[in-house]
Homo-oligomer: A and B are copies of this chain.
Amino acid sequence: MTTQELLQGAKAAKSAAAALSTQEKNRLLLAMADSLVQHQADILAANDQDVEAARATIAPVMIDRLRLTGDRVAAMAQGLRAVADLPDPVGDVLSEITRPNGLVIRKVRVPMGVIAIIYESRPNVTADAAALALKSGNVCVLRGGKEAIHSNTAIVAALRAALRENGAPETLVNLVEDTTRASATQLMEARGLVDLLIPRGGAGLIRACVENAKVPCIETGTGICHVYVDRAADLDKAVAIVYNAKTSRPSVCNAEEVCLVHRDVAPVFLPRLKQALDEKHVELRLCPEAAAIIPGTPAGERDFDTEFLDYILAVKVVGSVEEAVAHIAAHSTGHSEAIVTQDRAAADAFCAGVDSAAVYVNASTRFTDGGEFGLGCEMGISTQKLGARGPMGLCELTSYKYIIEGDGQVR
Contacts and interface: CB of A to CB of B under 8 A. Distances in A.
Interface of A: 14-15, 18-19, 97, 99, 103, 105, 110, 112-113, 191, 195-196, 210-211, 214, 216-218, 234, 236-237, 240-241, 243-245, 248, 325, 329, 347, 351-353, 355-364, 366-368, 372-374, 384-387, 389-390, 399-411
Contact of A406 (B18, B360, B387, B408): B360
A355 B244 contact: no
Nearest to A353: B15
Nearest to A105: B373
17 contacts: A15-B325, A99-B372, A103-B367, A216-B387, A240-B408, A241-B410, A244-B410, A245-B410, A248-B410, A356-B401, A359-B404, A362-B408, A362-B409, A363-B408, A363-B409, A372-B411, A386-B386
A197 to B, nearest CB: 9
Contacts of A18: 352, 355
B234 A384 contact: no
A15 B405 CA distance: 41
Given A15-B329, A389-B401, A237 B408 contact: yes
Interface class of chain A by DSSP = mixed
Given A15-B329, A216-B385, A363-B404, A248 B411 contact: yes
Given A99-B374, A366-B411, A367-B103, A406 B361 contact: yes
A364 B105 contact: no
A226 to B, nearest CB: 14
Given A248-B411, A361-B404, A366-B410, 15 more contacts: A99-B374, A103-B372, A105-B373, A191-B211, A195-B385, A211-B214, A217-B386, A237-B407, A237-B408, A244-B411, A355-B401, A362-B405, A363-B406, A364-B409, A386-B399
Contacts of A196: 385-386
Nearest to A91: B352
A360 B248 CA distance: 52
A362 B410 contact: no
Nearest to A354: B401
A401 B390 contact: yes
A18, A211, A352, A402 pick with most chain B CB within 10 angstroms: A402
Nearest to A237: B408
A234 B362 contact: no
Contact of A358 (B386, B402, B408): B402
Nearest to A211: B214
Nearest to A408: B237
Nearest to A373: B105
A216 B384 contact: yes
Given A399-B386, A401-B389, A402-B390, A407 B362 contact: yes
Given A385-B399, A399-B386, A409 B367 contact: yes
Contacts of A409: 362-364, 367
B362 A406 contact: yes
Contact of A361 (B237, B329, B399, B405): B405
A36 to B, nearest CB: 29
A241 B408 CA distance: 7
A244 B410 CA distance: 6
B402 A359 contact: yes
B214 A210 contact: yes
A181 B359 CA distance: 38
